[in-house]
Amino acid sequence: MRSDRVKKGLDRAPARALMYGAGVPKSSMDRPHIGICSSFTDLIPGHTGMRDLERFIDKGVHTGGGHGFIFCVPGICDGISMGHSGMHYSLPSRDAIADMIECVVEAHALDGVVFLSNCDKITPGMLMAAARLNVPSVIVTAGPMLGGSWRMKRRSFITDSFEAMAQCRAGKISAEEMEGLEMNACPGQGACQGLFTANTMACLTEAMGMSLPGCGTGIAGSGNKRRIAFESGVQICELVRQDIKPRDIMNEKAFNNAVKMDLALGGSTNTTLHLPAIAYEAGVALNLDTFDKFSKSTPHITSINPGGEFYMEDVDAAGGIPAFQKRLKPLLEDNITVSGSTIYEIADKARIFDEDIVRPLDNPYHKEGGIAVLKGNIAPSGCVVKQSAVNDDMLVFSGKAKVFDSEEAAMAAIHADKIANGDVVVIRYEGPKGGPGMREMLAPTAAIMGMGLNKVALITDGRFSGGTRGPCIGHISPEAAEGGMIALVEDGDVININIPERGIGLAVSEDELRRRQARWVKPEPKVKHGYLLKYAKGVSSAADGAIFKRD
């Protein structure tokens, strides 16, 4: 076992003495040493229930014949950090989490790891670490939150807080109504109720085969989630015995399956950052072109909040990810999973309990997948849009640019009623390097939707929350800070968007663009100290997944 390097032989007597000091019994020196990497924190509702799940994982590890060791990594709540300088740290935390896990697992020579995750950047950070370390691993996502309730109507976080905030500011709802919504939109533990980034990544982790069946949609705080946690602890010991490692599972077939599941569900555009980053660590080539290729042949077969009507609790009741694997089986590739069953075996055993939540392939909500990749002179390396959340009358749109060099400047203009239907809001210098950290633009998009501006598009070199809906196009690459075309846009320029044709273009002559390029001056870095400075110097383009390349 890997752990023999810290527990066997005369030379390891000091290490054993320290482990005995931590309470490890002598009998456990012959057991696999299993890390339980928890992201428990009181700061995030998606993670507040993890102390309970840690206990059930540890019980499972002991039952399976191992000895569990809990260690922790931090977590950031995108909803709480949204709309201010804290959001600079969200995406960078993904890579910090992967690095911290590498340090602990390698330093303590752990034989296997159960990763306990839930929210936006923590799950991909843990998957990146699993792929990089290639030590037997299982992911347990803590589960989605149940829907809230206010005035006998089911409520959700994005619609009933971010968008309601704009309605309150516009006088469409009262302060009393706003308080009622904010008190009831998030009723307890779990990841926000819709197919935002956290729940999207939980579903795709299961679709890749790195979680047990049912884990991706199993409700937070439920007995079912406890059982999944326990069985994951048992199963990690079996994976160690069989020497089944993450890269045995996370191969090209697994990533193709994950992308197709993402498109069928209509998941968050953040997956176009996270799946390529995980694939990079696994040694698998994955880029934006893969998303677009599969989008044209993978139908969108459900309608989940925020772009649709169903909540994650509905998806779970309808059969969860196995039900979607059953539907998508003709499009998926068979592959092994951490459960011991293959993708096809899981699909064959699955049951579909609602034909509207999990529609047949020949009766989809949309013929194409949820995400589209656009290219054009303003984004030669590509940009992404959640096309399943765009109204049909905005799939093709031309408008005049209103340009802002930060999210704060855009929000000030929106609040001052300076944005009108027919505009294309351009928010730049918010990319991985320029932000730094590629902040989510949920606050501007929610404000626009809440104010009823349904004929406004927004483009940015930043990114969007999984809760964003409408014609919002992110990840414009190259970004403004690298001299990308988005840095040259001026107020009044016409921007043409054609999602069905996968096009986006700035209607300005080449001669004029050359003149603007000659005048452009690279701006001073916004941050000149700390982790964000280091991040900005090393991070790659959003088109690559905003990763730290080793070559």
3 labelled catalytic: no
Query: Cβ contacts of residue 15 below 8 Å, gap of 6+?
Result: 6, 7
Helix 288-295 with 271-282: angle, nearest 10 deg: 120
Host H or E run for residue 199: helix 197-208
The reply, when asked if residue 417 is annotated as ligand binding, is no
Q: Which of 212, 4, 15 is nearest to 109 (CA)?
A: 4
**Strand, coil or helix: 436:** coil
Helix intervals (H) in 296-395: 312-317, 320-328, 343-349
The reply, when asked if residue 120 is annotated as ligand binding, is yes
Question: Where do we find the tokens 């926000």?
Answer: 192
304 strand-pairing partners: 310
Considering 81, 117, 295, 465, which one is annotated as catalytic?
A: 465
CA distance 78 to 441: 11
Burial class (CB in 10 A: 0-12, 13-18, 19+), 345: middle
Measured in whole angstroms, the distance separating CA 147 from the mean position of its chain's CA atoms is 20
CA distance 520 to 300: 42
Please check whether residue 465 is in contact with residue 82, taking contact to mean a CB–CB distance below 8 angstroms: yes
CA distance 367 to 176: 42
Please check whether residue 343 is in contact with residue 350, taking contact to mean a CB–CB distance below 8 angstroms: no
The reply, when asked if residue 440 is annotated as ligand binding, is yes
Q: Which of 79, 39, 75, 80 is nearest to 57 (CA)?
A: 39
CB atoms closer than 10 angstroms to residue 100: 18
SS3 content of the chain, % helix, strand, coil (to 5): 45, 15, 40
The reply, when asked if residue 423 is annotated as ligand binding, is no
**Strand, coil or helix: 34:** strand
**Feature table: binding site for Mg(2+):** 78, 120-121, 440
**Feature table: binding site:** 78, 120-121, 440
**Which active-site residues does the annotation give?**
465
